[in-house]
Amino acid sequence: LAKTTQPISMDSYEGQEVNITCSHNNIATNDYITWYQQFPSQGPRFIIQGYKTKVTNEVASLFIPADRKSSTLSLPRVSLSDTAVYYCLVGTLVYNQGGKLIFGQGTELSVKP
Amino acid sequence: DAGITQSPRHKVTETGTPVTLRCHQTENHRYMYWYRQDPGHGLRLIHYSYGVKDTDKGEVSDGYSVSRSKTEDFLLTLESATSSQTSVYFCAISTGTGNEKLFFGSGTQLSVL
């Protein structure tokens, strides 16, 4: 099972770009990298997912180097509403090859005015 | 969200009493999960299910049991609740097709006095 390591907390200001890096040295060939966002008193929600190289959607970008041992979530021009905990999750659910999806500690992002 | 209902939303119980939490989904997803979340510990996997009557242990399964007799329902039972099981419990679902995205319920706040 791939173990993930992220910074515990990060601070930023409105309008800045925020990059959160996740280390996953023992990622397996079939594993995907998925990031979730969690606000207080809510369940986590999906932000972005990738397997290799770069993925971009309407809210974030995900950069994955060739060795896939780390990944970086990039949030462009953050606002106060981006204050949340961000989790990196590595795993797969290919039949009979997975299921035990274990979260790391998460990164608490605080965006200030 | 994503057709997941957790019940009850809040529960207060006494030490030593049995407690059952229910997760109901309308998505017909194969995988279902129970996580607990405590300050400073992030999300920890308790048990998960990969089909009807198919379950497996997560990171913190001691003191918990689960059952899945129908695709749509996943029950978490605390046979004899302890104060250390005071937590927020989240249910999640996923399709089980490989590039998994987890969809979470709104959580159950359980207090064991």
**Bond before B8 cis per omega within 30 degrees:** yes
Look at residue B10 in the predicted model and tell me its pLDDT: 97
Instruction: Establish if B48 touches chain A: CB-CB under 8 angstroms.
Output: yes
* Strand partners for A70: A23
Which tokens in the block code for residue B57? 């242990």
A18-74 pLDDT per residue, tens:
999 999 998 888 888 999 999 988 999 999 999 998 999 999 999 999 999 999 999
**The amino acid at A107:** T
Q: In a structure prediction context, what are the per-residue pLDDT tens digits for chain B, which is 113 residues long?
A: 569 999 999 999 999 999 999 999 999 998 999 999 998 778 999 999 988 999 999 889 999 999 999 999 999 999 999 999 999 999 999 876 666 789 999 999 999 99
Instruction: Establish if B103 touches chain A: CB-CB under 8 angstroms.
Output: yes
What letter does residue B23 receive in the DSSP assignment?
E
Look at residue A20 in the predicted model and tell me its pLDDT: 97
Q: Which residue of B has its CA nearest to A29?
A: B98
Look at residue A3 in the predicted model and tell me its pLDDT: 83
Which residues does chain A have within 8 Å of residue B42's beta carbon, measured at their own beta carbons?
A: 85, 87, 103-106
Q: Which CATH class is domain B4-112?
A: mainly beta
Q: Judge contact between A79 and A106, C-beta under 8 A.
A: no
Q: Judge contact between A6 and A20, C-beta under 8 A.
A: yes
Of A43, A99, A100, the CB nearest to B104: A43
Structural domains of chain A in order of their starting residue, each with its CATH number = 9-112 (2.60.40.10)
The per-type count for chain B, helices as H runs and strands as E runs, is 0, 11
B1-22 pLDDT per residue, tens:
569 999 999 999 999 999 999 9
Look at residue B1 in the predicted model and tell me its pLDDT: 53
3-state secondary structure string, B45-95? Answer: EEEEEEECCEEEECCCCCCEEEEEEECCEEEEEECCCCHHHCEEEEEEEEC
Q: Is B96 left (phi over 0), alpha (psi -120 to 50) or beta?
A: left
Q: Is B58 exposed, middle or buried, given 0-12, 13-18 or 19+ CB atoms closer than 10 A?
A: buried
Q: Is A85 left (phi over 0), alpha (psi -120 to 50) or beta?
A: beta
Question: Measured between alpha carbons, how far apart are the two ends of chain A, in Å?
Answer: 39
Contact A99 B56 (CB under 8 A): yes
Query: Distance, in angstroms, between A55 CA and closest chain B CA?
Result: 14
Q: Judge contact between B21 and B47, C-beta under 8 A.
A: no
